[in-house]
A = this chain, B = another copy of it.
């Protein structure tokens, strides 16, 4: 053990505040090499300075304390680098998201008016290959991607034909609270019955019949609340909304083009059928 210094000196060396250092001790992120039993004084080894600096860099990047601890505890360089890369990817995704939020805000403020048309449609029962689960809003995005990945893989493995655009049903709990049932599907031919591995989350089922008011959203999913708002306003003024999951159909989506401005998403809001 090398030279030890007080918390104040260590603070000056690392530019971490004393309060921060005490907190890091409390959560066992950075533990002083020695604690005086009588006074409770913390003493740090100057060899801990580089560790403290690494911690500061990760916290500057908003990496949660728990993850920083994992990175520091990583048994080998490979594991450590993997954890770091994961976080850097997350940062990059966040930068992308911020960028598109800025764009989206500018669009909203410049108020590009798109004429919106609503269609009433009766959805028949259709056979689908589906995955349904309870998810939280945070994880919805990654769940969505993973679920469609699995669905498409199953289609390929079964030599099955997809007969329409992908879609999803989302329980209102997902909006009311932060968690609810979601189901994504690919429509399939009724005569074909793909072998679904039992025990997995894949299922072959029929989509329930429903009456929907439908509006098509153009552009990235970031902005989908704009169309939801317009459709909701329409329904309260011109139709009779009822309980039930909202229905989305991805006419053009990330599987078709990476240019998000080209995407088209049909949104179906359940209504009471007034025009038979």
Contact = CB atoms under 8 A, between A and B. Distances in A.
Contacts of A233: 3, 13, 46, 49
A5 B236 contact: yes
Given A17-B178, A19-B178, A60-B97, 18 more contacts: A12-B175, A12-B232, A13-B232, A13-B233, A18-B176, A19-B177, A49-B232, A49-B233, A50-B229, A52-B229, A53-B225, A56-B225, A57-B104, A57-B108, A61-B98, A88-B102, A91-B98, A95-B98
A123 B265 CA distance: 70
Contacts of A11: 175-176
Interface of A: 3, 5, 8-15, 17-19, 46, 49-50, 52-54, 56-58, 60-61, 84, 88, 91, 95, 97-98, 101-102, 104-105, 108-109, 137, 172, 175-178, 224-226, 228-233, 236-237, 241, 246
A240 to B, nearest CB: 12
Given A14-B229, A15-B228, A175-B15, A9 B236 contact: yes
A176 B232 CA distance: 54
A175 B95 contact: no
Contacts of A18: 176-177
Nearest to A20: B178
A73 B60 CA distance: 33
Given A53-B225, A95-B98, A46 B12 contact: no
A102 to B, nearest CB: 6
A237 to B, nearest CB: 5
A98 B58 CA distance: 10
